[in-house]
Chains A and B, each alone.
Chain A
Amino acid sequence: MLSSKSNRLTEALEEANKLFEKVCRAREAALDAQFLVLASNLGKEKANELHSEMTSFDAATFAEDLLTLMGINRIEVEENDSEPGGFLPRDAWQKVGEEALKYFRRAPTFHYMLGSFKSDPPVAKQRIERQKKASKGEAKQMMPAQLNQMEESHDETTEKEVERILGILNTLFENDPETPISFFDFVIDPNSFARTVENMFHVSFLIRDGLAEIRLDDDKLPIIESTKFRRVGEENRGPGARKQVVMSLTQEEWKEIIEVFEIREAMISPPFQSTEEEMETE
């Protein structure tokens, strides 16, 4: 039944088709379906056998022949091997298209935009007054990517603050390089919890960038040191010895520290931001 010469499979299918006319029960229909499955499997086998009689399609050879048709210029490329095949002339693809034209009769599809979407209700934007155009017209002509003036963003403020605090730390150290400063003395602002937290935040930047260091002194209390004005003799430790610490501070702890360490005034002066209220106080 599988040989390409015999028509037996087709005859069997036709017989099944005829028999199906008389079918009136579900079981018979199921049997018919079963037969069709069997027949299609046999058909697949038959087709596979057929395929092995033809020469198989070799994609690489076909590609080479195609390039030859396109008129490839196979010159030896000495320096760089990036173009191993050579160069195609400008009308190469045109030639392929003309050749393929003879075998395909496909009409182009219709592409359009109108009717792709429903008409929106008319745009209700007011028409800009055109009559008396003031010098507003000139101002609008800005190239998209130009930044004429950048406003102070929050990041800038942070950087400025960090620099300012670095300055304060270095000044303190410059005057007295021997005594390390207690971390709490440095960051705590007894007048404002919020500013204390901000100070800690800014100091963490200094530590991250290696401009300052926190160590535990003999009493196991944290002290802060400027790396710039370090005592001579200490080696400059590379970025290898990095440790990460998360510090938390609640308002209760803050008050406790102020009491215990007797912190009267902030070493880091509050940032220069004149507030209306301060001016208004009588």
Chain B
Amino acid sequence: MAAQMTDAHRRFLQVLMSKGITEGSEARKLHHHCCETDKVYYAHDKLDDFISTINRHLQPLFMQVRKGMSEEDGRAHYAVVNLAETEITKMASDYTEIELELFRKTMDLIILSENGFASSTDILNLADKLKTKKMKKKEAEQVLKVFVEDKWLSEKNGEYTLHTRCIIEMEQYILSNYQDVARKCNICRSLAVQSQVCESCGIGMHLPCVRKYFKAQTEPRCPKCNEFWSCDIPGMSRMSSQSP
């Protein structure tokens, strides 16, 4: 019983395409708004069905509305992603070849780094080593700004990491191209760019996953090797003794 694509679906898709990525609660509000505007049957818990109807129609175009988790706050986000890697997708990119090379090298730095961040100094130093053509530092700064605006990179304190939108779209690419280096979260089994790592056994976990996992435990212990978890657990104050 395949549901038809209505104007509400199309409106939802168009908004999502223009934003690129949207947070879970925003997506639900949008769902409500679209169904109301186009007078389509609305049920507040049927967002996933709504989206899968859209996806069914997007499939022959190699596009998809995908759900992913933000590494900062653990909230669900929805993004429109591309699935195909062909000669045509290479041509239809928004960015020039040299900008894409800079992006690839930035991605290398971010994924190979310990904490998932690459400092802007390191990235700007890469600008000299590009193969296609040298890029001036001012230009590279501009390009980085554009990447942040388009939500492929996010910037914090002068350091850059991959935006949730980028992770949602590029997860498979990263896992297959950086097989040995990219880390997977021990809890949710998906790619972890920013992660906390156990010092003794080396497994990684997303920060929100860490928070959720250790919420119930009195003493944070690594799920694999059972050693004491040494990193600061986000959102929890560490009290060694009981409060009076």
Q: Residues of A with Cβ closer than 8 Å to B?
A: 107-123, 125, 127-128, 130-131, 133, 137, 140, 144-145
Instruction: Tell which of B17, B90, B112, B179 touches A118, judged by Cβ atoms closer than 8 Å.
Output: B90
Interface of B is mostly: mixed
Contact between B108 and A123 (Cβ–Cβ < 8 Å)? yes
Instruction: Answer yes or no: B14 CB below 8 A from chain A CBs.
Output: yes
Whether B119 and A127, one on each chain, are in contact in the complex, defined by CB atoms closer than 8 angstroms, is no
- Judging by beta carbons under 8 Å apart, are A112 and B178 in contact? no
The smallest C-beta distance from B109 to any residue of chain A, in angstroms, reads 11
**Contact call A108/B14, Cβ cutoff below 8 A:** yes
B48 at the interface (CB under 8 A from A): no
User: Interface of B with A (CB < 8 Å)?
Assistant: 14, 17-18, 20, 63, 80-86, 89-90, 93-95, 100-101, 103-104, 108, 111-112, 114, 119-121, 150, 152, 158, 166, 169-170, 173, 176-181, 197, 199-202
Contact A123 B112 (CB under 8 A): yes
A248 to B119 alpha-carbon distance, docked (Å): 48
For A119, A130, A133, A145, the residue with the greatest tally of chain B CB atoms inside 10 Å of its CB is: A130
Hey, which chain A residues are within 8 Å of B93, CB to CB? 112-113, 115-117
Q: Do A116 and B81 have beta carbons less than 8 Å apart?
A: no
Q: List 8 A-B contacts (CB under 8 A).
A: A111-B150, A114-B89, A115-B85, A120-B177, A122-B178, A123-B112, A128-B114, A133-B199
The answer on a CB contact under 8 Å between B202 and A110 is: no
Contact residues in A for B199 (Cβ distance below 8 Å): 133, 137
Q: Which residues of A contact B177 (CB under 8 A)?
A: 119-123
Residue of B nearest to A128 (CB): B114
Given contacts A114-B83, A119-B173, contact A127 B180 (CB under 8 A): yes
* Whole-angstrom distance between the Cβ of A118 and the nearest chain B Cβ: 7
Report the separation of the CA atoms of residues A130 and B224 in the bound assembly, to the nearest whole angstrom: 14
Residues of chain B within 8 A of A131, CB atoms compared: 200-202
